[in-house]
Amino acid sequence: MKSSKATALVLSLPWVLTFGVFWLFPILYSLVIGFTDYTLLGRGFNWTGLENFRLLFADPAFISALKNTFIFVGGTIPITTTVALLLALLVNRQFKGRGLFRAGYFVPSITSMVVVALIFTNLYQRGGYIAMLASMAGFTPPQHGFLFDSGSALYSIMAMDVWMAVGYYMLIFLAGLKAIPDELYEAAEIAGAGKIRQFFSITLPMLRPVALFIVVINTIKSFQVMVEIFVMTKGKFDTSTSVYFIYETGLTTQFQFGYASAAAYVLFVIIALFSIVQFVLLRRRQPIW
Amino acid sequence: MNRSTLSKIILIVVIIALAAPVTAETTIEWWQFWTDPSIKPTVNKIVAEFEKANPDIKVKVSDLTWANGHEKIVMALASDRGPDILELGSDWIAQFADAGHLADITEQTATDQEKYQGWGMTTYRERIYARPWILGTRVLFFNRALLRQAEYADNFIPISWSNLLEAATKIDHLGKNTHGWGSNTAEKHRLYKKFLPFFWSNGAHLYTPDGQYCILSSQKGIEALKFYKLLHDSCGYVANQRGIEDAFLEGKIGFIISGDWLLKRIELEKRTIDFGTTLIPGPKFTGRSFLGGEFLAVNAASDHKQAAMRFIQFVTSPENQVSFCKANRSANPSSIMAQDDPYFKSNIHLQTFIKQIYSGVHPPVDPYWVNAEAAIEDAVEDALFGSGMIAEPLHKARKKIDRSKRK
């Protein structure tokens, strides 16, 4: 018994050490320095208590980044989830070339975000493909391009994000659809339920755990949006988000680690709150729709 | 082996050891940014020549990129390590000097003050922390063919704002794919370099003479932004710097502000564009431009400061600056003697750059300049692409800069 405990300890030691050194210590250390004025180039640092948090909520750049993050999360998640579900329903049907469509929708989600962001930067530019399509559809595209306009830049990035993410969530919905027993649909048909009734009474309720999983995962991911902002706008034109703000504050210019850590913990609390709410919904027995 | 033989061997070994020349070799490390195939061989050649002239010193060269070089330097200096010699951009010097990471080289450079330009950017709290190497400024590039199409004479050069606006507007009216002015989008670390020349040319100042308060939103500052916005609105082709330069080289833009790297591009890419260069126009006469550059500094934590200083003096010597500039097609050696070299004298565009240096203005040597820079860029972005108001964004930026200074 003693020997098997020792063996387990020895075998788990590499992971425990890696976790402690590269995860736990930085997490706790950043919590501590969030209460200091620590900058990378400074000599030593002072304990400032809640000052960083007070400054953060008085900092227009942070408030604007937080606002943009909420717009991003609030805008992309419902659309991504709905479109992913519709696509899953579509490619779940039997038709010629179904595999091609499935693969086609999924490919963007396995492509590098940097590559996609660079392609879309090009598509969104003045006189670019999307501006041309918008003009043909009777819309007036922004004068200098979609990414050079505060009114359209963030929404353009959100649209790209939706395009990129739907394939992945479509696949998860598809797995959920495959798990619904056919007997339920057969019984519903015998009972005289139409396709729409079947969708709302069988498909949606049965997909609830999958949908909530998607919403939780996508919420966490969307709160951490950063790469596309970095590549496409560098936070300009009112597109800065919370993680981009943390990057800018902590890892560029002044290297204000203390201030950036405080911002990271504010974001952590927000994500944690959202996740708790979503998990509570997930554990509810009665349907939420 | 008997005792006598062993004693003899030991004696011989000791004599040989004592007789051998003392070759205590010092190795110094240099972090530098010149990695382009057109210039790297010249950098290596300069290093090899230094090692030949100084056999007691070896130089280890490490290449940095502009994408992450600053971060690497900060990380290294923060851990009190890093190389002996650092190549620095002008706006980093105050930040590192303030944090105590750069060696004070005031005494070692005392005799060179008159021989080089750019000391203002290396002086922080009246002490010198770096040696000017290659300076950088921006001039006005114009497309002669488009000017001709707009019915301007071949010898026309815009020297005032009204000249520039009129010519740019006429070019803009030539056709749908022709634009008068290359207007930078809200690019970090670039937009302020385009706006401040107009600001300084109008006689505006960023700070009060004692440096305590920001006066960005003075009447002259507001007038400068008004004119900059007028150019942008009436005939601007908006893109990032690379995009503007691409469009200029394709003959789509009449006027752009750019640096000597564009001359290099035109030459290396064998572009056939009919272009000219001139000084940045001012409200009535030629104005001022942005001044920056590359500087060499010694790490305060270096154990080989003297060797590092010898290397810096060698690299920045007039001869090496000329060979460097020739290879890199750079226009702005910091050495005044180098500026007199026939290479610069014989090229009209290089002459424009050298003339522009003399009316160049560098941003304040302030460890927190990056905050001010970001606030200025936000104000210009807001005026050009956002609210469209002029005074309000400048007032906001002024308040932000003052708050940041107090903090």
**pLDDT per residue over A223-243, tens digit each?**
999 999 999 999 999 999 999
pLDDT of residue B22: 45
* 3-state secondary structure at position B137: strand
Alpha helices for B79-179 (secondary structure H): 90-98, 144-149, 161-172
Instruction: Kindly list the structural domains of chain A, giving each domain's residue range(s) and its CATH number in brackets, ordered by start.
Output: 67-245 (1.10.3720.10)
Interface test with A, best of B93, B192, B237, B385 (most A CBs within 10 A): B385
* Cβ atoms within 10 Å of B170's Cβ, excluding its own: 18
From chain B, the residues in CB contact with A144 under 8 A are 185, 238, 385
Cβ–Cβ gap A236/B381 under 8 Å: yes
Among B238, B370, B385, select the one facing A253 at the smallest CB separation: B370
Look up residue B14 and give its amino acid. Answer: V
Name the pTM for this structure: 0.82
- Closest CA of chain A from B251, distance in Å: 17
Contact B214, B401 (CB under 8 A): yes
d(C-alpha A109, C-alpha A170), whole Å: 10
Residues contacting B205, CB < 8 A, separation 6+: B215, B218
User: By the CB < 8 Å criterion, does A45 face chain B?
Assistant: no
Segments making up each domain of chain B, as ranges: 26-136+291-361, 139-279+368-406
Burial of A66 (0-12, 13-18, 19+ CB in 10 A): buried
Mean pLDDT (chain A) is 91
Cβ–Cβ gap B99/A41 under 8 Å: yes
Among A43, A149, A254, select the one facing B100 at the smallest CB separation: A43
Among A41, A150, A238, select the one facing B78 at the smallest CB separation: A41
Rounded mean pLDDT, A86-112: 92
From chain A, the residues in CB contact with B77 under 8 A are 41
What would the DSSP string read from start to end of B184-206?
A: E-S-TTTHHHHHHHHHHHTT--S
Residue range B26-136+291-361 forms a domain whose CATH class is: alpha beta
d(C-alpha B353, C-alpha B334), whole Å: 12
From chain A, the residues in CB contact with B74 under 8 A are 40-41, 255
- Closest CA of chain B from A257, distance in Å: 12
Among A40, A238, A251, select the one facing B78 at the smallest CB separation: A40
Cβ–Cβ gap B371/A126 under 8 Å: no
User: By the CB < 8 Å criterion, does B101 face chain A?
Assistant: yes
User: By the CB < 8 Å criterion, does A142 face chain B?
Assistant: no
Cβ–Cβ gap A144/B78 under 8 Å: no
Among B96, B188, B238, select the one facing A148 at the smallest CB separation: B238
Confidence category of residue A4, pLDDT binned at 50, 70, 90: confident
* 3-state secondary structure at position B279: coil
Cβ–Cβ gap A236/B185 under 8 Å: yes
Cβ–Cβ gap B71/A252 under 8 Å: yes
- A278: alpha, beta or left? (left if phi > 0; alpha if psi -120 to 50): alpha
The dihedral built from the CA positions of residue B108, B110, B116 and B119, taken in this order, carries a sign that is positive
pLDDT of residue B368: 86
Give the up-direction half-sphere exposure of residue A275: CA atoms within 13 A in the CB hemisphere: 12
pLDDT, tens digit (0-9, with 9 covering 90-100), for B112-148: 999 999 999 999 999 999 999 999 999 999 999 999 9
Among A41, A42, A149, select the one facing B385 at the smallest CB separation: A149
Measured in residues, chain B has a length of 407
**Which structure tokens are listed for B338?**
């180098």
**Which structure tokens are listed for B184?**
């930078």
**Which structure tokens are listed for B165?**
């606006």
d(C-alpha B370, C-alpha B391), whole Å: 22
Chain A neighbours among B 356-385 (CB < 8 Å)? 368, 370-371, 374, 381, 385
Cβ–Cβ gap B186/A148 under 8 Å: yes
pLDDT of residue A285: 55
Cβ–Cβ gap B385/A148 under 8 Å: yes
Q: Is the pLDDT of residue A251 over 90?
A: no
User: By the CB < 8 Å criterion, does A112 face chain B?
Assistant: no
Among A41, A43, A126, select the one facing B74 at the smallest CB separation: A41
Q: Residues of chain B whose pLDDT is less than 50? A: 20-22
Among B95, B185, B186, select the one facing A41 at the smallest CB separation: B95
Among B74, B239, B370, select the one facing A40 at the smallest CB separation: B74
Chain B neighbours among A 264-283 (CB < 8 Å)? none
User: By the CB < 8 Å criterion, does A254 face chain B?
Assistant: yes
* Cβ atoms within 10 Å of B313's Cβ, excluding its own: 16
Which helix H or strand E contains B31, and what residues bound it? strand B26-32
User: By the CB < 8 Å criterion, does B76 face chain A?
Assistant: no
pLDDT of residue B388: 78
User: By the CB < 8 Å criterion, does B177 face chain A?
Assistant: no
CATH fold group of domain B139-279+368-406: D-Maltodextrin-Binding Protein; domain 2 (3.40.190)
User: By the CB < 8 Å criterion, does A118 face chain B?
Assistant: no
The share of chain A scoring above pLDDT 90, in percent, equals: 77
Neighbouring-strand partners of residue B295: B88, B132
pLDDT of residue B25: 84
User: By the CB < 8 Å criterion, does B194 face chain A?
Assistant: no
pLDDT of residue A78: 95
d(C-alpha A135, C-alpha A141), whole Å: 7
Whether complex ipTM tops 0.85? no
From chain A, the residues in CB contact with B368 under 8 A are 254
User: By the CB < 8 Å criterion, does A126 face chain B?
Assistant: yes
Task: Examine domains B26-136+291-361 and B139-279+368-406 and report if their fold is the same.
Answer: yes
Cβ–Cβ gap B374/A252 under 8 Å: no
- Closest CA of chain B from A203, distance in Å: 46
Cβ–Cβ gap B101/A126 under 8 Å: no
